[in-house]
A = this chain, B = another copy of it.
Amino acid sequence: MTTKHSEHIYPVFDRMLQRSDKEKLLKQRAKVIWMTGLSGSGKTTIALGFERLLYNKGFLTQVLDGDNIRSGINSNLGFTEEDRAENIRRIAEISKLFVNCGVITINCFVSPTIAIRENAKQIIGEQDFVEVFVNTPLEICEQRDVKGLYKKARAGEIKNFTGIDAPFEAPVNPDIEIKTENKTIEESVQELADKILPLIQI
């Protein structure tokens, strides 16, 4: 049976592709793994290791972090309270698109307040949102200071820096907590994998 454009412009073919179709194609269940923690806590490091581990098992993932978000879609946002909220809102909406495409999305953002993470969770949907607290003591993050941000914050060159002159509200009841202190990266990645794999395997 063929359908004339003029007869039916909307109901095409059987039906629109669903997320479940894409998950079936990918042989995985999509989730948004939301990594929260201080700057330097190891969020991106663990995420990239975890992505590699999942890739080796045949999973399709997308890491979202400052590198691909702040330089791209959110390049027109600053660091006012309003812009920070909009930053997270857009990230959550993008994550929702990816998860609806069947892709496991791994987000690495400080996302320092309970309210901001709650907002992300509401947009993404509770059932798809996995909160991971990358718990590294401030002293250790500051010792590492990979990007030199803590030094600048201490010198007053950066204002409202989380952990220094802006609060970090730790998750009260995170789905997963990774304490990185005295662990290798591989151990942290493996700990995350042990908890996430049951959620994404079909």
Interface residues of A (CB under 8 A from B): 2-6, 8-10, 12-14, 16-17, 21-22, 25-26, 40, 42, 45, 48-49, 51-52, 55, 58, 60-64, 68, 72-73, 76, 86, 90, 93-94, 96-98, 100-103, 136, 140, 143-144, 146, 180, 183-188
A122: shortest Cβ distance to chain B, in Å?
13
Contacts of A73 in B (CB 8 A): 90, 93-94, 97
Contacts of A186 in B (CB 8 A): 2-3
Q: Is the interface of A mostly helix, strand, loop or mixed?
A: mixed
Are A62 and B10 within 8 A (Cβ)? no
List, in ascending order, chain B residues with CB within 8 A of A21's CB.
55
Q: Which residues of B contact A4 (CB under 8 A)?
A: 184-185
Kindly list chain B residues whose C-beta atoms are within 8 Å of the C-beta of A136. Answer: 5
B58 with A17: CB separation less than 8 A: no
Residues of chain B within 8 A (CB-CB) of A187 are: 2
Say whether B5 contacts A184, CB under 8 Å: yes
A96: chain B residues at CB < 8 Å are 72
User: Chain B residues near A180 (CB, 8 Å)?
Assistant: 5
Q: In the complex, which residues of chain B have a beta carbon less than 8 angstroms from the beta carbon of A100? A: 68
Given B60, B72, B102, B184, which contacts A22 in the complex, CB threshold below 8 Å?
A: B60
Q: Which residues of B contact A188 (CB under 8 A)?
A: 5
Interface pair A42/B5, CB less than 8 Å apart: yes
Residue of B nearest to A67 (CB): B16
| Contacting pair B5 A45 (CB below 8 A) | yes
CB A120 to nearest CB in B, in angstroms, measures: 13
